[in-house]
Every structure is written in C-alpha cells, then in structure tokens.
C-alpha cells in the first residue's frame, strides 16, 4: 500500500469526490432519457517494477441511451519510473521515484449533436510537485453556443485565480490538441495546463475549480442537445470524426503514453477510444 502525505491524500480524496459527483450527474441524465444505465466500477492494482506495491485505481464505465460510452477513471499510483522514460518526466531526470493521482474522463455520445468531451486533472510528485490537466470539447458537428458557453465556464474558473491563466492555457490546449498529420485540431478546444508548481493550496484550489466548472457546464450542454433529431449523414460525420479522435489519442496523447509506460490498467488507459469509429 502506498504511504501518502497530507497533500497527496487531499488531492486523491478530491479526485474521488469529483468522480462521484460527475457519475451521479451523468446517471441523472440517463434517467431523464428513460434509461436505467449506471456506471460499472472495476478496481485494479498496479505492480511497480521495483517489486513494491504500486497503487492502483478504479475504472468506471457507463453505456447508455445518451452516453454511448463514458469512462470516468481515478487512479493513485507511485513507485519508480523505468530507465529512459523517467528522464522525460518533469523533475524525474535524476531521481526516478514518483507519485501520481488524478481523474480522467472521456465521453462519447449517442446523438451526433451532443459534443464528446475530455477532462483530466492530476497531481504529480517527483523531485517537484505540480498539478496539471484541463478540459476540452470535441463536437463532430460544432455549435457556436456550446463552444462559447464551455469556454466561458473555464474562463470564469481561470479568472478567479489569475487573469493570465485563460489565454495561456487556452493557447496551450489549441497547440496540444492538434493532429499534425491531418492538420486539424481535435475539437474546439478548452484549456490545458501542466507543471503548475508553487503554493499547493493555490494550485489545488484552481484545479478544484476547473473540475467544478466542468461539472457545471457539460451536463447543461448535454441536456440542450440530447433530444435533437439527426440524420444518417450526421451520424456518419460523427463516426468519421471519431476516427480523428482515436488517431490523436493513440499517436500523440501524453496521458496515454504515461499510463502505458507506468504499468497502468490497459482498459482504463484505452477507455478514451470511441466504441464505433470509421475511416473514409
């Protein structure tokens, strides 16, 4: 079992609390749609290369009428990075020991007018301590009202802490969630931040506000669009766009690589992939 200090414990408890709130909100939407779908939770243990206990997590997945497939995962892991990979991680170049706790969410929606979404926040400890994460909206059929409301919610969360956060983290998301070989962005953006070091209380409060902003705005967008009629052509557009999403996550996403390189649960790591996708 991992031994956690007070900061690590506080972060872990928040991510688990946020998971519970989000899952309850998503299940409530399914009930409104006349569905009894609920999350299925699967715990998993991680084995560290050092031979010591390496923590683990819980994978939560729901397949329903509104949420075709949504995964909400929490994990708390620690141990040592393997050889060369540790040198690529902030603060781990000379000391491979690490700790990481966080929440990761990806929702793929049944109705092509409801945007898919990704949200992840995390706390990492190497020789440094920092928070990272963000949220981004991924519609196959973008609607300006949804994009504007999503960004406005994140901007409000950012502005409460630092007026420079939103423009900086929005640009970071625009640069990061880009598919070079397609020359397109993965979606309509959001915010992305990493290596947020300094006062734990301040950065933790910001990370909590990002999670709360997501919990407030995304269910509103889902309810706004989930009963809209759609055509076969719009469904085909959704499935083709999902192929782009899969390409990004398998080729470029750092979170996918981190999970695979640190012995994470494969099903939890790849829950970001859509249940159905097409390539032209």
> Which residues are known catalytic residues?
118
Inter-CA distances, 261 with 41, 46, 220, Å: 23, 12, 36
Strands 67-80 and 53-62, bridge-based pairing: antiparallel
Q: Give me 62's structure tokens.
A: 């729901």
Closest CA to 173 of 139, 136, 119, 209: 136
Nearest to 106 by CA among 257, 6, 249: 249
- Is 154 within 8 Å of 216 (Cβ atoms)? no
What tokens appear for 70 in the block? 């949504």
């Amino acid at each position: 079992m991992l031994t956690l200090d007070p900061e690590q414990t506080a972060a872990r408890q928040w991510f688990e609390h946020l998971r519970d709130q989000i899952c309850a909100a998503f299940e409530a939407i399914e009930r409104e749609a006349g569905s009894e779908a609920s999350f299925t939770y699967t715990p998993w243990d991680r084995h560290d290369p050092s031979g010591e206990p390496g923590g683990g997590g819980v994978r939560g997945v729901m397949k329903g009428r509104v949420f075709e497939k949504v995964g909400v995962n929490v994990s708390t892991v620690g141990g040592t990075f393997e050889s060369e990979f540790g040198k690529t991680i902030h603060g781990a170049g000379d000391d491979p020991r690490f700790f990481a706790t966080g929440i990761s969410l990806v929702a793929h929606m049944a109705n092509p007018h409801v945007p898919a979404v990704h949200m992840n926040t995390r706390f990492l400890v190497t020789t440094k301590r920092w928070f990272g994460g963000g949220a981004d909206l991924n519609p196959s059929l973008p609607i300006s009202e949804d994009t504007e409301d999503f960004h406005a919610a994140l901007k409000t969360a950012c502005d409460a802490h630092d007026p420079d956060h939103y423009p900086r983290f929005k640009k970071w998301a625009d640069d990061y969630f880009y598919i070079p070989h397609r020359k397109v962005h993965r979606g309509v953006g959001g915010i992305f931040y990493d290596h947020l070091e300094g006062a734990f209380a301040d950065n933790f409060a910001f990370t909590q506000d990002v999670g709360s902003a997501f919990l407030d705005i995304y269910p509103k967008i889902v309810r706004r669009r989930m009963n809209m009629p759609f055509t076969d052509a719009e469904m085909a557009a959704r499935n083709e766009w999902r192929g782009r999403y899969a390409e990004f996550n398998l080729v470029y996403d750092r979170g996918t690589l981190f999970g695979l390189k640190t012995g994470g649960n494969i099903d939890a790591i790849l829950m970001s992939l859509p249940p159905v996708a097409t390539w032209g």
